[in-house]
Amino acid sequence: MRPAVWLISLLAAFSVAGCAGGNPASGPPSNGPSLSTGSSSAGAFTMSSRDLASGHWPSADTCDGSDDVPDLHWTAGPSGTVSYALQLFDPDAPNGGFTHWMLANEPADFRAPMPGTGVSGTNDFGHEGYRGPCPPKGSTHRYVFTVYAVDTRLRLNVLYDHADFQKALKGHVLGQASLTATYSR
């Protein structure tokens, strides 16, 4: 092989190895979930919702309605998944976004959030549990549900905050799947 061709081949191999090195799901993003829809770094690990299939949030599940958690389901996480953690995040809110819900330690055999399970955090409304979309009138916001497949049960006290959630996830995420829907008032 000619030296120039060999050098280019070697550099290309290092470039591909550099892209493959490290696990992009080894920790949560610093400002909420990634904004991919229905996909994850684990390949087949996905999240879906009949209620959000159109990409738009039904007003019945917002502050303009009953404010219920929409129908959510996910496929089995990667091998080694011990628990799941969920987050609902609004990246379009001022000051870097707004957390509407955090739930940790859902059992590994669950494929949907179940009432009375897991450990709830404090949302940015200052309350425990879920609070749905409620953007200012005249604006449209994106709301991102992310489910994290975790290699442990997270050490979190009830009513943890967003920073505690992110810190607990760091180094324990095996994969994540996200689903994005918009809501306007």
Tokens representing 59 are 């007003």
Share of the chain above pLDDT 70, in %: 77
Q: How far apart are CA 141 and CA 32, in angstroms?
A: 15
Place of tokens 């809110």: 93
Q: How far apart are CA 62 and CA 6, in angstroms?
A: 59
* Closest C-alpha among 152, 81, 144 to residue 111: 81
Q: How does residue 32 score in pLDDT terms, banded at 50, 70 and 90?
A: low
Helix (H) or strand (E) holding 162: helix 162-169
The answer to whether the beta carbons of residues 113 and 73 sit under 8 Å apart is: no
Strands, sheet with 173-184, edge to edge from the N-terminal-most edge strand? 119-120, 98-107, 83-90, 140-150, 173-184
Domain locations in the chain? 24-184
Q: What is the pLDDT of residues 38-92, one digit of tens each?
A: 333 444 799 999 999 999 999 999 999 999 999 999 999 999 999 999 999 999 9
Report residue 150 CA to chain centroid gap: 12
The answer to whether the beta carbons of residues 105 and 85 sit under 8 Å apart is: yes
Q: HSE on the CB side for 85, CA within 13 Å?
A: 31
Q: Decide: helix, strand or coil at residue 20.
A: helix
Lowest mean pLDDT among 10-19, 73-82, 97-106, 112-121: 10-19
The answer to whether the beta carbons of residues 150 and 84 sit under 8 Å apart is: yes
Q: Decide: helix, strand or coil at residue 124.
A: coil
C-alpha distance from residue 9 to each of 3, 5, 6, 16 (Å): 10, 6, 5, 11
The C-alpha angle 77, 79, 85, rounded to 5 degrees, equals 40
Q: What is the pLDDT of residues 172-184, one digit of tens each?
A: 999 999 999 999 9
The answer to whether the beta carbons of residues 47 and 73 sit under 8 Å apart is: yes
Which CATH homologous superfamily contains domain 24-184?
PEBP-like (3.90.280.10)
